[in-house]
Amino acid sequence: MAVSSESLNASNAASRGAFIVMEGMDRAGKTTQVGKLRHTLEEQGHKVKTIRFPDRTTPMGTMIDGYLQSKTEMADHAIHLLFSANRWEKAAWIKEQISQGYMILCDRYYYSGMVYSAAKKNPALSLEWARTPDVGLPRPDRVIFLDLNAAEAEKRGGYGEEKYEKREMQENARELFLGLAGRGEESSDMVVIDAGHSVEQVASAIWDEVMKVVKAVETVPRRELSVVGAWTQVP
């Protein structure tokens, strides 16, 4: 596809930004590592924006916040769709920033969305069902799954009081996360990193992955961000 003269003249026009998602169980170190990665990328001259889900600042985010703090009750399917809608609220923004050359670092995304809902083990809310409303969202270039078992996570100050911060939920969610390594496009998008090492060691393993992605988006001009596709096969 031809590149317009307008985009050639824009700053950083040769390449879009990369869309990197940090996933993992509670206390795995996602927020810590997003901060470190941002710092490293900025040191190298990249433009970076960070985002986190749920985004509790929007009207839908306020409802999600009330649910997570057990202030309001909601049916499993209803809250699931709200979490997804909360991501859709930001979809156009993500695409726009990426096209302007920003690296977007996203603290949790639809992986958490589907996995935590399915971890409730509601027989009418399968992982497949849970993934469906996110089909069509911007697809990450790379998803870093920070893997930490529940016992190790609890040593990091314990869980808080929020709805999903319970050992059983966490263990179910971890199993589902790891299962994604063998499912659909997630199997190629997601990389599992052992989050049980020091902050610096984990950061270095993450950087090895991110560096490859940054190189790829820089050397393949204007390869557009793709969208999350439907799962077509039952394993």
State the minimum distance, in angstroms, from the CB of residue 158 to Mg ion. 14
Part in contact with ligand ATP (CB under 6 A); list of ranges 3-11, 27-35, 115-123, 219-227 = 27-35
- Judged by beta carbon distances under 5 to 8 A according to partner kind, the member of Mg ion, ligand ATP, none in contact with residue 29 is ligand ATP
Binding mask 146-185 for ligand ATP (x = CB under 6 A): ----------xx----------------------------
* Contact status: 31 vs Mg ion (CB under 5 A): yes
State the minimum distance, in angstroms, from the CB of residue 216 to ligand ATP. 26
Continuous H helices in 29-159: 30-43, 59-68, 76-99, 110-118, 127-131, 150-155
Q: Which two tokens stand for residue 125?
A: 């809310």
The correct pick among 23, 26, 147, 186 for binding ligand ATP (CB under 6 A) is 26
* Contact status: 202 vs ligand ATP (CB under 6 A): yes
33: which residues sit within 8 A by CB, 6+ positions away?
A: 22, 144, 146, 199, 202, 203, 206
Part in contact with Mg ion (CB under 5 A); list of ranges 28-36, 40-48, 141-149, 191-199 = 28-36
* Contact status: 29 vs ligand ATP (CB under 6 A): yes
State the minimum distance, in angstroms, from the CB of residue 119 to Mg ion. 18
The correct pick among 5, 9, 198, 233 for binding ligand ATP (CB under 6 A) is 198
Helix, strand, coil % in the chain, rounded to nearest 5: 50, 10, 40
Part in contact with Mg ion (CB under 5 A); list of ranges 22-30, 75-83, 159-167, 227-235 = 22-30
Task: Considering the complex, state which of residue 80 and residue 108 has its C-beta at the smaller distance from ligand ATP.
Answer: 108
Alpha-carbon dihedral of residues 190, 110, 34, 142, nearest 10 degrees?
A: 30
Provide the β-strand partners of residue 145: 23, 192
What CA–CA distance (Å, rounded) separates 56 from 122?
Answer: 25
State the minimum distance, in angstroms, from the CB of residue 27 to ligand ATP. 4
State how far the alpha carbon of 157 is from the alpha carbons of 150, 151, 152, 160, 209, in Å. 12, 11, 10, 9, 28
The correct pick among 17, 19, 30, 133 for binding ligand ATP (CB under 6 A) is 30
The kind and range of the H/E element at 167 are helix 167-179
Q: Which two tokens stand for residue 85?
A: 């809608």
State how far the alpha carbon of 228 is from the alpha carbons of 24, 86, 129, in Å. 19, 16, 14
Residues interacting with ligand ATP, by CB under 6 A? 24, 26-32, 156-157, 198-199, 202
